[in-house]
């Protein structure tokens, strides 16, 4: 009996010694759990391998801001392009409108000139009749009546002149086919050839344009027979 107790005592001492050794191997004198031992064995005992990479919120915010800035830049470029196109269209429309105004003004001038020419042509016969009546020395016409005709003729002349009417110079000048219409040729060796000798019907200019050519008689050199 005493022998068995002694044997057990020896075994107990061995177990106690083993526990003391394990205690010294564990940090801070703590026993290592099986889970800790297993985790260390899987990671190769490296503590840095257990660290998790964490993305900072400031980095995410910066990336989002950069994307917004790029989007705004693209929209700004598109807006500038559209503004450029609109400015080009406005300039083109302004040029077209300016040309249109010039065309309208030119057409209006043509219409006004045509209407004025037509009216004055109709008045020329009346005007020339008044001119002849004012220049006559017919004694049968009363003095007051003749003075009245002269006043009417003078006022008529003033109005027509204000509209741009002026007589074409004819007698004694050289023939101008643009202003003179030749009705007859007369032999005259004293005057240069094609000199206007007589005006049959007076011609007129309206605003420097021929309203009615003057009808004239021009000189012609005689043909001498060869001996």
pTM of the model: 0.55
Q: Output the pLDDT for position 124.
A: 93
Both structure tokens of 52: 């998790």
Q: Which segment of 14-23, 181-190, 211-220 scores lowest on mean pLDDT?
A: 14-23
- How many degrees, rounded to 5, is the angle at CA 208 between CA 205 and CA 210? 40
Are 82 and 129 members of one domain? yes
Averaged pLDDT score across all residues of the chain: 80
Strands annotated E in 132-220: 165-167, 180-187, 196-201, 204-206, 209-212, 214-220
CB neighbourhood size of 170 (10 A) = 23
Are 169 and 92 members of one domain? no
Are 118 and 207 members of one domain? no
Name 197's bridge partners.
none
Q: For the chain, what is the domain count?
A: 2
Are 140 and 182 members of one domain? no
Q: Which of 148, 163, 178 is the last residue of a domain?
A: 163
- Residue 189 is part of which domain span? 165-221
Read off the pLDDT of residues 72-106 as tens digits, 9 standing for 90 and up: 999 999 999 999 999 999 999 999 999 999 999 99
């Amino acid at each position: 009996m005493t022998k068995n107790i002694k044997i057990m005592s020896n075994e107990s001492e061995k177990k106690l010694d083993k526990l003391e050794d394990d205690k010294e191997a564990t940090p801070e004198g703590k026993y290592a759990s099986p889970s800790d031992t297993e985790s260390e064995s899987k990671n190769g005992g490296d503590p840095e391998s257990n660290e998790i990479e964490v993305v900072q919120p400031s980095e995410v915010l910066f990336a989002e801001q950069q994307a917004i800035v790029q989007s705004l830049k693209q929209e700004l470029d598109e807006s500038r392009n559209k503004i450029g196109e609109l400015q080009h269209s406005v300039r083109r429309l302004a040029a077209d409108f300016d040309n249109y105004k010039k065309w309208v003004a030119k057409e209006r001038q043509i219409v006004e000139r045509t209407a004025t020419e037509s009216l004055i042509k109709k008045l020329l016969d009346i005007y020339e009749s008044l001119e002849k009546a004012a220049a006559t020395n017919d004694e049968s016409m009363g003095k007051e009546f003749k003075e009245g005709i002269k006043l009417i003729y003078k006022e008529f002349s003033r109005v027509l002149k204000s509209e741009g009417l002026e007589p074409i110079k004819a007698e004694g000048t050289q023939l101008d086919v643009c202003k003179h219409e030749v009705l007859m040729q007369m032999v005259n060796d004293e005057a240069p050839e094609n000199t206007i000798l007589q005006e049959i019907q007076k011609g007129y200019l309206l605003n420097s344009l021929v309203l009615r050519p003057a009808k004239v008689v021009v000189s012609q050199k005689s043909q001498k027979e060869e001996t």
